[in-house]
Amino acid sequence: MDNERPVDLLIVDDDDEIRKRSAQYFQEHGYHTAAAASGAEALEQVQKQAFQVAILDMSMPGMSGIELLTKLRESNPEIEVVMLTGHGTIEIAVEAMKLGAHDFLTKPVRFKHLAAVVDKAAEAGRIRKENRQLRAVIERTQARTEGMVGESPAMREVFRLIERVGPTDKPILIQGESGTGKELVAKAIHQAGPLARQPLVVINCAALPEALLESELFGHEKGSFTGAVTAKEGLFEIADGGTLFIDEIGELSPTLQPKLLRVLEDGWMRRVGSVKDCRVQVRILAATNRNLADEVAAKRFREDLYYRINVLTIPLPPLRERGDDVRLLADKFTGPGWEWEPAALEAMQKYDWPGNVRQLMNAIERAKLLADEEWICLRNLPQEVLVPHSHGLPKTLQPEADLATVNRSLVVQAMRRERGNKMQAAKVLGVSRRSLYRLLEKYEIDQAEYID
């Protein structure tokens, strides 16, 4: 078998010798194989476990292969079915294909040929599943997808860790304050790895009550609770073959923690209200704004689950510790064509941003709404940015200050520092050279003021 992931295969045949020899062949060639001697036994098997492909004998006592095919397509439409018969006719083959069989083969058939057909059936099922996953991912609300920005030492270390862990399939824990960009880090890890072309599915544990969170993660069967009018795939099934990002995993309830642990340990999960296990293969990326080691010590988070998700931790620095990254982020969020009043930039740099990058983004969106002619002034910033916090603002930047005096002074200082070099002074002020000329003219700054 050429597939990287073994096929879960069910063989149904009332002939003991054929059934046993078939099961032995496929097991020896790496398939996960189960066998049933009748249609009734096969239905019991599919109620307990999810299979990708089923090989059905056409002629069996009690329930024929055609009857079993019909029941399987009704209850388990994701199973691809290969029919076998000792005396096939075109009419029977056409009927089987109309009912949803992937292929129809006449006995005797060589195991090698049968395995090739099984592989094609499994591949067809995978393609259909990927299409379902893609539709589900597109339908889910996606967070902002701006790329990560930062040149501070702390962010360079984050980029280094992403580069190291991306190519693996190991679980990663991303730890940082709210608003620091944990989901962006998860997306960067996913894109840097071998699963980049597979789904990345996101869920926030803090955003859902426990009952709904369980249904979102593991799915549910029709009638399993009030309002469950149809069966629904869970996010583990949607992310199968790809990556599941569990944000704020520290909020996961004690009753859901062992269910998550089971999936991480052996890949098996069960929908709410179901008795059937389903195998999934998912890379887990988790994030939290809590200290999970403290949560483990306080018995609020399982120690075994903590070690399962924490092969490596990527700590995200708060914005107040990222220095000049504030200016880089401000330029990114304003977009091309926007300019900053020097005093406004200075205030942005001095503020400690308790809400981190998310708060900065919101502040800039507000400032752009209030700004005139793509020119963001100090008065356009939110009040909290103008009021001293832990780092404090210089007195010259208090709201009651004369803004014109503040800006004029900053321009003169920059011109003096760069000895009249307008290009360099503009870089110091964080504005374009055109804007600097406008400031020099606006504040009537003579050359004598900055060149001795």
Q: What is the DSSP secondary-structure string of 394-425?
A: -GGGSTTS-HHHHHHHHHHHHHHHTTT-HHHH
Q: By CB neighbour count within 10 A (0-12 exposed, 13-18 middle, 19+ buried), where does 254 fall?
A: exposed
Q: How many CB atoms lie within 10 A of CB 280?
A: 19
For residue 143, the model assigns a pLDDT of: 37
For residue 207, the model assigns a pLDDT of: 83
Domain 158-315: assigned CATH number: 3.40.50.300
How far is residue 179's CA from residue 181's CA, in Å, rounded to a whole number? 6
**In angstroms, what CA-CA distances link 144 with 105, 160, 181, 182?**
50, 23, 10, 12
For residue 206, the model assigns a pLDDT of: 86
Which residues of the chain are in CATH 3.40.50.300 domains? 158-315
Which residues of the chain are in CATH 1.10.8.60 domains? 319-386
Which residues of the chain are in CATH 1.10.10 domains? 403-449
For residue 88, the model assigns a pLDDT of: 64
| CATH 3.40.50.720 describes domain 8-132 | no
Which residues of the chain are in CATH 3.40.50.2300 domains? 8-132
For residue 299, the model assigns a pLDDT of: 93
Q: Taking the chain (452 residues) in consecutive chunks of 10 residues, what is each chunk's mean pLDDT?
A: 71 90 92 91 88 89 87 84 79 78 85 92 84 60 56 92 90 93 92 86 89 90 80 90 94 93 91 87 94 92 94 94 92 90 90 91 89 87 71 40 64 84 79 78 84 74
Instruction: Enter the DSSP assignment of 232.
Output: B
For residue 134, the model assigns a pLDDT of: 65
Domain 319-386: assigned CATH number: 1.10.8.60
The structure's pTM equals 0.62
Residue 249 in contact with residue 286, Cβ under 8 Å?
Answer: yes
How far is residue 218's CA from residue 417's CA, in Å, rounded to a whole number? 62
Dump the DSSP string for 363-381: HHHHHHHH-BTTEE-GGGS
CATH top-level class of 403-449: mainly alpha
For residue 365, the Cα-to-chain-centroid distance in whole angstroms is: 25
